[in-house]
Chains A and B, each alone.
Chain A
Amino acid sequence: MTPVHPALPLFVAAALMGLVRPTSRGPIALAGAIAALTAVVGLPAPAELQATLLGFDLRLIAADELSRLFALILAVMAGLGTLYALHVERGGEHAATSVYAGASLGVVLAGDWVTLFLFWELMAISSTAVVWHGGGGRARAAGFRYLFVHLASGALLLTGILMLHATGTDLLGPVPPGAAFWLLLAGIAINAAIPPLHAWLTDAYPEASVTGSVFLSAFTTKTAVYVLIRTFPGAEPLIWAGVAMALFGVVYAVLENDIRRLLAYHIVSQVGYMVAGVGMGTALALNGAAAHAFCHILYKALLFMGAGAVLHATGRRKLTELGGLAPRMKAVVVLYMVGALSISGAPLFNGFVSKSMVVSAAAVGGWPVLELLLTLASVGTFLHTGLKLPYFTFFGPPAAGIEPRPLPRNMLAAMGAAAALCVGLGLFPGWLYARLPFDAGYAPYTLDHVVSAMQLLLGTGAAFALLLPKLRGQPTITLDTDWIYRRPLRRAAAATVAGAATAGRRLEGAGAAVVRAAAAVASDPVRGFASLQSWVEGGASEELRSTGYDPDRYRLPVGAIVLWAVAALGVTALLLR
């Protein structure tokens, strides 16, 4: 039986957005997400779906265990995100998030590079639309920066894909060494947010709408992790890139004041564990990377939902403007803390069962420094997401004039569902482990793992209490690598355009002066030469300048150019007939 592509219902839901009443848009998007999840669960084994496009044989679905695992969590995430956004009546945003989620399913189910590329680009475009739905100048500017970076990622990927195609390789699999290896790695590294190619993430995610940023937190980086697992397992540079990511995010989170940007830096940090896992390339490490991506999608969405709930209720997004919300947002506090304990790797929560896999893989694989540095990053995660953000948002000194408005029930329901999944996976990790693609046994709930995790959290908590005054938010922003294209590159581009325009104007002016002089001479050679002589001796005479010559008179009007273009098109059409 031919399987239904799970992206299809999401695309159909997106197409319907313009045709239905605003109040029906959320439910239709949710129905699309549920249908997509049903299609993922119902994928036969083995699942194959092929098509032909421009002479390329596309394998739209070639699903193995790795694809299925990612498709499952991405479809679940589409459902959770849409439930959170159920009250939203902006059809454009629902369409963008549905296409974005569908395209990510297309990436993880693709069997060949061209199919992957097509869905990859669809993700870039639809996620840019998600950013733009944040509204306002900041979202628009951040969306453009986001789009340009992702178009660069697509261009690198396409070049690498064409080079592979030239060698006869079209199917997805580990990439052989060579130029294509580095091009593809760079293209995927951009989407995985590996520093210094990460700034698009922390720049754009906090500018999206409350509901849009929940979607953004899940799809792009995790599909990149999936592609890395499939095509770059054991690529050693990724080990250290992963560690750099894990620590980089932590350092920046110390300085961050915007709650959603703080969480965005922790996406970079957490994806670092997955990237390091891919770099190690052992069965345990790859399973760890896949499991951590699975768990990360749930708890990070929950955290973004929590931060979004605060923003929705108060209209404030900065730690310096928040505080003391706990008594009036009890449910949000509890649900947010489930996400915070999950990301921090607290036992009984899902982060513990996946993060400890990656750290253990570093220990047993013979990377002691890696193990210690990942442990250090873990400390930073609990410090910010589990202590600093909730303390200064919910528990610290109350902010003046803050009056939270009630939240739509669907937002709380989505948070509740995400929290239940975080706890469920933490309590029953066997369900997840049975679905992991590689053959490696792992037991999370051993005495040393649990004791180690508890001690790490308690030590961090003690240090937090001691350092509390230093950790208060500051009304500052932190310079990151996006500074390069927001300041010097932007100014260089503006200067180049202005310089070219000035040079063009001067060149045209000089040419026109020559033609004007020549016109005067040609119209009356005797008088003209006399004037020209006096001009050479002492500057242009009034007579030479006022010949009435106007260069615009001799320019072709735009209408004529359009006429020629239409004629050329007509002739071409006739010839091609």
Chain B
Amino acid sequence: MKPAWGIAVAGAVAAATVALELAFRHAAHPVYPWHSMPGFDLACGLAGCWVIVVVSKALGRAGLERPEPHYGDEE
């Protein structure tokens, strides 16, 4: 599958899930306000992924990441 097709299919499925959320709002059983916000999990995936990558890379630069081999003396 070409990338353009992949994006189109993913976009269509995403749109369909939001449409389903809007259409079946009455049948949902939310516990917290974000459970009834259409597209919340879409945004959560997008923003969450970005936050994870940015924070982890920053921690790596702050000293967690070391060139190999770091513990070379024991190998």
Contacts and interface: CB of A to CB of B under 8 A. Distances in A.
Interface of A: 137-138, 141, 250-252, 254-255, 363-364, 368, 371-372, 375-376, 379-380, 382-383, 447-448, 451-467, 470-471, 474-479, 486-487
B63 A479 contact: yes
Interface in B27-63: 27-32, 34-35, 39-53, 55-57, 59-60, 63
B75 A141 contact: yes
Contacts of A371: 32
Contacts of B24: 447
A456 B53 contact: no
A141 B50 CA distance: 37
Contacts of A364: 31
Nearest to A375: B44
B13 A454 contact: yes
A448 B35 contact: yes
A447 B75 CA distance: 53
A386 B50 CA distance: 16
B69 to A, nearest CB: 7
A380 B50 CA distance: 10
Contacts of B65: 255, 474, 476-479
Given A254-B52, A448-B35, A459 B45 contact: yes
Contact of B49 (A447, A460, A476): A460
B70 A479 contact: yes
Task: Give the most central of B28, B51, B52, B64: most A CB within 10 Å.
Answer: B52
A448 B35 CA distance: 8
Contacts of B17: 451, 454-455, 458
B33 to A, nearest CB: 9
23 contacts: A138-B75, A141-B75, A251-B59, A252-B56, A254-B57, A375-B44, A376-B44, A376-B52, A379-B45, A379-B52, A448-B29, A451-B21, A455-B17, A455-B40, A455-B44, A455-B45, A459-B41, A459-B49, A461-B45, A462-B46, A470-B53, A477-B71, A486-B71
How many B residues are at the interface, by size bracket? 35 or more
A476 B64 CA distance: 10
A139 to B, nearest CB: 10
Contacts of B27: 447
B75 A456 contact: no
A466 B35 CA distance: 26
Contacts of B70: 477, 479
B66 interface: yes
A380 B52 contact: yes
Contacts of A454: 13-14, 17
Given A137-B74, A456-B41, A462 B10 contact: yes
A382 B52 CA distance: 12
B53 A254 contact: yes
B52 A250 contact: yes
Contacts of B45: 379, 382, 455-463
Nearest to A247: B52
B44 A456 contact: yes
Contacts of A383: 49, 52-53
B45 to A, nearest CB: 2
A379 B48 contact: yes
Given A455-B14, A463-B46, A466-B50, 6 more contacts: A137-B74, A254-B60, A371-B32, A376-B51, A379-B45, A478-B65
- Top 10 nearest A-B pairs (CB, nearest first) are A459-B45, A463-B49, A254-B56, A455-B41, A379-B48, A460-B45, A459-B46, A455-B42, A459-B42, A476-B65
Contacts of A486: 71, 74
Nearest to A136: B75
A447 B35 CA distance: 12
A459 B67 contact: no
A458 B46 CA distance: 8
Contacts of B64: 255, 478-479
A475 B17 CA distance: 39
A521 to B, nearest CB: 50
Nearest to B69: A477
B27 to A, nearest CB: 7
A465 B60 CA distance: 21
A61 to B, nearest CB: 41
A381 to B, nearest CB: 10
Contacts of B44: 375-376, 379, 455-456, 459
Contacts of B71: 477, 486-487
Contacts of A447: 20, 24, 27-28
Contacts of A252: 56
